[in-house]
Amino acid sequence: MFTQSEENYLKAIFHLQEEAEKGVSTSSLSEELSTKAASVTEMLKRLAEKNLVDYQKYYGVHLTAKGKKQALAIIRKHRLWESFLVERLNFNWDEVHEVAEQLEHIKSPKLVEELDKFLARPDYDPHGDPIPDADGNMPKAPKKRLSQIKEGEKAICKGFNDNSSSFLQFLAKHKIGLDTKLKVLQIESFDESMNILVNQKEVLLSKTATDNIYVEDLKTT
């Protein structure tokens, strides 16, 4: 069907498309995939040939319906495997990413369906990201960033936007994970860094960090 490389491009385009509504640029893909821009251009032409993207020279790409469907199928597999690794194989949620990156390319519709069933059809993966269903529908998470919480309020962690190992390990060090409860003690106005109470301890988080932590309000109490 599609090569692993093609699938990686589709996934990357999908993710980059979420933020900017514009076409996804060659350079952003180049960065995301750690591949030289020249190689990206080449691949975009190939993907356009296969009707997976709309590609306009010098103006980036958009996924077509076909490409989007494929991207969602890969993301579905990635997140199901991450769930499996954490929930059944004792992986920590900060060490599943690279393995899931390999597993997501396994081709077997039955495997995906049975895995989903085996895991009791989860809606979210261990990072709190929604898992698309077999038709590509995302369970919509009304996501709020920690950076949007006001001083004195409490919240509960529901996801993380940065899958880099260093960020995840930073979180682990402070015992911040899914469903961890936080209280915003104080916000520095000059850099928007936050003083947080978590596990009875104070932690200082930069704006970069709080932008990448998704939470739900915790009105109770």
Say whether residue 43 binds DNA (CB under 7 A): yes
Contact status: 54 vs DNA (CB under 7 A): no
Binding mask 168-197 for DNA (x = CB under 7 A): ------------------------------
User: Which of 11, 60, 130, 213 contacts DNA by CB under 7 A?
Assistant: 60
3-state secondary structure (DSSP) of residue 145: strand
Distance CA 127, CA 108 (A): 24
Q: Which is nearer to its own copies, 45 or 107 (CB)?
A: 107
103 binds, among its own copies, DNA, none (CB under 5 to 8 A by kind): its own copies
Instruction: Give how far Cα 145 sits from Cα of 83, 128, 129, 160, Å.
Output: 22, 13, 13, 9
**Least distance (Å) from its own copies to the CB of residue 48?**
27
**Residue 17 CB, nearest approach to DNA (Å):** 14
Eight-state DSSP code of residue 68: H
CA distances (Å), origin 83, targets 2, 59, 76, 115, 162: 24, 37, 11, 10, 17
# residues near DNA by CB under 7 A: 27
Please report how close the Cβ of residue 103 comes to its own copies at its closest, in angstroms.
6
CB under 5 to 8 A by kind: which of DNA, its own copies, none does 114 bind?
Answer: its own copies
Query: Which stretches of the chain bind its own copies, using CB under 8 A?
Result: 85, 88-91, 95, 98-99, 102-103, 106-108, 110-111, 114-115, 118
Give min distance, CB of 99 to its own copies, in A.
5
**Residues 162, 168: Cα–Cα separation, whole Å:** 8
**Given 45, 66, 88, 107, the residue binding DNA (CB under 7 A):** 45
Which of the listed partners (its own copies, DNA, none) does 4 bind, with a CB threshold of 5 to 8 Å by partner kind? DNA
Residues 6+ apart with CB under 8 A from 52: 2, 6, 10, 63, 64, 66, 67, 70
Strand partners, 64: none
5 binds DNA (CB under 7 A): yes
How far is CA 46 from each of CA 2, 5, 31, 52, 55, rounded to the nearest angstrom? 11, 11, 19, 9, 10
Structure tokens at 47: 């993907």
Local structure of residue 124 (DSSP, 8 states)? B
Scan residues 13-42 and list those touching DNA (CB under 7 A).
25-27, 30, 33-42
Under the binding rule (CB under 7 A), the answer on residue 4 touching DNA is yes
Residues of the shown chain interacting with DNA in the complex, contacts defined by CB under 7 A: 3-6, 25-27, 30, 33-46, 55, 57-60
